[in-house]
Amino acid sequence: MMVHPHTRFDLPEALNAGEPPEARGLSRDHVKLLVAEGSTVTHTRFDRIGEHLRPGDLLLVNTSTTLPAAVDSSSYTVHFSTPLDDGTWVVELRDGGAPMFHGTAGDRVVLPGGALTLLAPYQGSNRLWIAKPPVADVLGYLQRHGRPITYNYVGKRWPLASYQTVFARDPGSAEMPSAARPFSFELVSHLASQGVLIAPILLHCGVSSLESHEPPQPERYDVPAHTARLVNWVKANGGRVIAVGTTAVRAIESATTPDGTVSPAHGWTDLILGPERPPYVVDGLITGWHAPEASHLLLLESVAGPDEVQRAYDAAVQNHYLWHEFGDSCLMLR
C-alpha cells in the first residue's frame, strides 16, 4: 500500500521554473538556497552552501549522465526510461504532453529510424510499458533521434547540456539527477579547499512518477568500494554524510545495513524510504523542490522529519522559490 507524505502545500503555477537559471541571467550556483536544520530556516544562495558545511563532511554525488530520452513520432512522444536485463526497455508514451493510458500488447509505434513494439505493462503500471526498442543500440539511437525529456511547465526546448551536472560521467538517466545542477566547477573547488569531501555514487533515474503519485520504480545503482570505505571512515570520525539528491540517498541506503555500515553494492534497487524504513547512514541531503504528493517527499521526511520538511516547503512557497529541475535548492540537515 502506498504511504502518502505528511507534507501539504499548494504550488502556484508561477513557481514552476520554465527555463534554466542561465536564461534568467544567473549562473548555475546563484540559485536560491534554503537551509533547513531543526526549527531553523535560513535563506541564502547556493554558492554560499559551504557556510553550512563542515570540514570532514562528505557529499555523495550522482555521476549519472542525462540521456536525450524523448523521441517524437507523428502521433506520440516516447520516453525511454530504463533498459532491462534482457534488452527490452521500460517506456512511457505521451500524447500532447500527457501520459497515454491506453495501449495494447503488440502495438507498434513508428519512430524515426524504426518502430517500437509494446510487449506488456511494466509492473502493473497503467502508463509504463515493457517494449522492444527500434534497434539494439538504444543509446546510439537516442543520440541520433532523441531530445531531453521536457514537461509542460518548460516553455521551450533547451539543449542537452542544460540537463547535465558537473558530475555527469556515466550515461543512463532518462531525467536529470537535478539536485546537483547548481554545482559549478568553481564551487566544487572551493568546497574541496575548505575540507569538504566529495565521493561518487551512481543511480540511473527513470521517468518521473510525479503525475500519478506512484512509488519509485526499481532503478540501477552502484556504490563503489572506495565510496563505501569513505562513508564508513567519515561516520567513524564524526563527519556528516550528505547526499546530493534523492537518487544518492536511495543508492547509498541500498548498500547500508541497519547498524550504519556501508558495503560495495550494485544492481537494481527497489528500496523505498519512509516511516517503516528510515535512513541508516544519511545525515542530510541537498535537493530541489518536489511537486505536491510526490513520493520523493516521503524520502525527505524520512531524512529530516515531517515537521522540518513542512516548515521548509511553507517557507519556500512564501518566499517564491522556484520548483523543478531548473529551480532553486534546499539543504536539509537532521
What's the pTM value of the predicted model, to 2 decimals? 0.95
Q: What is the pLDDT of residues 112-121, one digit of tens each?
A: 999 999 999 9
Alpha-carbon gap, residue 59 to 44, rounded angstroms? 19
Report d(CA 61, CA 177) in Å as an integer.
10
CA distance 92 to 78: 6
pLDDT in tens, 171-180: 999 999 999 9
Q: For residues 114-148, b (16+ Cβ closer than 10 Å) or e, as one string?
A: eebbbeeebeebebbbbbebbeeebeebbeebbbb
* pLDDT tens digits, one per residue of 128-157: 999 999 999 999 999 999 999 999 999 899
Query: Which of 290, 297, 294, 298 is closest to 316 using CA atoms?
Result: 290
Per-residue pLDDT reduced to its tens digit, 70-81: 999 988 999 999
Between β-strands 128-132 and 89-95, what pairing exists: parallel, antiparallel or unpaired? antiparallel
Please tell me the distance from the alpha carbon of residue 179 to that of residue 227, in angstroms, as a whole number.
19
Confidence of residue 246 (pLDDT cuts 50, 70, 90): very high
Tell me the pLDDT tens digit for each residue of 314-324. 999 999 999 99
pLDDT of residue 1: 53
Higher pLDDT residue, 3 or 120? 120
Q: What percent of the chain has pLDDT over 70?
A: 98
296-304 and 306-318 are packed helices; what angle lies between their axes, rounded to 10 degrees? 120
Mean pLDDT (whole number) for 197-223:
86
The mean pLDDT value of the chain amounts to 95
pLDDT score recorded for residue 41: 98
For residue 209, what pLDDT is reported? 57
**Is 228 in contact with 262 (CB distance < 8 Å)?**
yes
DSSP 258-314: TTS-B--EEEEE----BTTB--SS--EEEE--PPTT-THHHHHHHHH-HHHHHHHHH
By three-state DSSP, how is residue 169 classified?
Answer: coil
pLDDT in tens, 276-298: 899 999 999 999 999 998 888 99
pLDDT-based confidence at 254, cuts 50/70/90? Answer: very high
- 189, pLDDT greater than 70: yes
Q: Does 212 score more than 80 pLDDT?
A: no
